[in-house]
A and B are shown apart, each in its own frame.
Chain A
Amino acid sequence: MTKIMGAALLVSAGVLFGYGRAQRMWARAALLRELGAAVMRMHGAVEARQSLRHICSAMSGQFTGECGSFFEKLGASLGALGESGLGELWERCARESFGSALTERELAPFLRLGSSLGSGEGALLALGQCERELERAAECAEASAARDGRMWTALGAALGSAAAIVLI
């Protein structure tokens, strides 16, 4: 009886492990989608010549999770402009908000956007470019999650089952 229960736990653990990996992959893809949506809204706001302080205030209310947190942090750090550049503040807030959720490669377009906004020239072009790159990154992440998510779930179940068999 104990062995059966142990085996069941091992199988469950394996399934949960694999499922968890798959879910994280889907969550990363969803975050990239949300980030793309945020950049798109920001594009509209910049086109309407709204100030960054106003944009941060509005966006921190419209988005939750890491995106909302980024705009909240950025808005709070604008007082450091003058001592630091916008690109520097943007990168700091981006890494604090997204650093653990996105890879360096996935975060790169968003970091480049901060540098471009700080230069003053071509803000709209930079926002458009970032939107496109995030769209591509989100598509890749979704494809990867669809392909590898099932693999991880199955792998987790298989490993759990193998461990259960060994136990029994």
Chain B
Amino acid sequence: MEIWDILPRRLQRVLGPLEGGVEELRLRAFQPPSVAVGGRERSLDCGALTPDELWRITEAAAGGSLWSCESQLRRGYLSLSGGARLGICGEVNLEHGEIRSFGEISSLCLRFPREVRGCADGLEELLEGGFENTLIISPPGGGKTTLLRELVRRLSESGVRVGLADERGEVAAMRAGAPQLDVGPMTDVLSGAPKAAAVMSLLRCMSPQVVAFDEITEPEDAAACSSCYGCGVKLLATAHGSGEGDLRRRRLYRGLLDAGIFARCVVIKLDAGSRTYEVREL
């Protein structure tokens, strides 16, 4: 299903005029919908949403087949066509301490992919003179995935063979074997697999020159970074945080930074709706 088709018609009517600039659509039970544009959220002039409506939207996002999306639901999201992602919040049913399914849905976050060609135009220093292991850092919603995609495209177009581990399908948005978002002509995409397994598979089978993936969140992801470093393959990855100092306070990233795996970081700062990119040597 196309992204907008999962929404009830009354929401589609209200959102239609805003379609191009919306970064996120927030849907909460018993609240009117709200949109995030340039990092700012505002409510729409539309009646409050019911829990039933939130269920129907979730059902539509899964194509009526919630059972076929179990692995994504356990991680609290559903991937949609075009690289969009539906984040789900509510009352969960647990199994062995992990999310098994959702009993009640209280809020949804529909995040739209944004392809911003040229957003890396001021970052030539990263691409020229040989690419070095780079970590993109920003808080949630800061534009890490957008910048990652653009850097992958630029590297690929310059003749670098890139292996992209696209776990949630948000970077390349693969459909019928073709990326719906431009990641360049020399990029091999492995989507849907956990990052760590995908990275190892790319290293073994696709002989990439650069491995790229979104969001280092698990120890396994950090281990995959170390494996790439040990193989002489360059890394391009993203992490949630406000800066290098923030990452150093967390064990998961401290090890990577102390080991010198990443040579540079790009810190994305959001100020009054505009983004700035700061490149720092690590």
Q: Do they bind each other?
A: yes
Interface size class of B (residues with CB under 8 A): 20 to 34
What is the chain B residue whose CB lies nearest that of A80?
A: B60
Known: A51-B63, A120-B102. A81 touches B68 (CB 8 A): no
Main secondary structure of the interface of B (DSSP, over half): helix
Is B65 engaged at the interface, CB distance under 8 Å to the other chain?
Answer: yes
Chain A 40-91 interface residues, beta-carbon cutoff 8 Å to B: 46, 49-53, 55, 78-79, 81-86, 89
Is A123 engaged at the interface, CB distance under 8 Å to the other chain?
Answer: yes
Is B120 engaged at the interface, CB distance under 8 Å to the other chain?
Answer: no
Least Cβ distance of A162 to chain B in Å? 55
Interface residues of B (CB under 8 A from A): 1, 5-9, 52, 55-57, 59-60, 62-68, 70, 73, 93, 101-103
Main secondary structure of the interface of A (DSSP, over half): helix
Q: Choose among B5, B66, B68 the residue that contacts A82 (Cβ–Cβ < 8 A).
A: B5
B59 touches A85 (CB 8 A): yes
Is A118 engaged at the interface, CB distance under 8 Å to the other chain?
Answer: yes
Q: Choose among A50, A79, A83, A121 the residue that contacts B68 (Cβ–Cβ < 8 A).
A: A50
* Interface 1/0 per residue, A6-25 and B, CB below 8 Å: 00000000000000000000
A55 and B68 CA atoms in complex are apart in Å by 11
**Tally of chain A residues near chain B (CB < 8 A):** 22
A50 and B64 CA atoms in complex are apart in Å by 11
Interface residues of A (CB under 8 A from B): 46, 49-53, 55, 78-79, 81-86, 89, 117-118, 120-121, 123-124
A120 and B62 CA atoms in complex are apart in Å by 10
A81 and B67 CA atoms in complex are apart in Å by 16
A85 touches B7 (CB 8 A): no
B8 touches A81 (CB 8 A): no
A51 touches B65 (CB 8 A): yes
Q: Choose among A53, A83, A85, A120 the residue that contacts B63 (Cβ–Cβ < 8 A).
A: A53
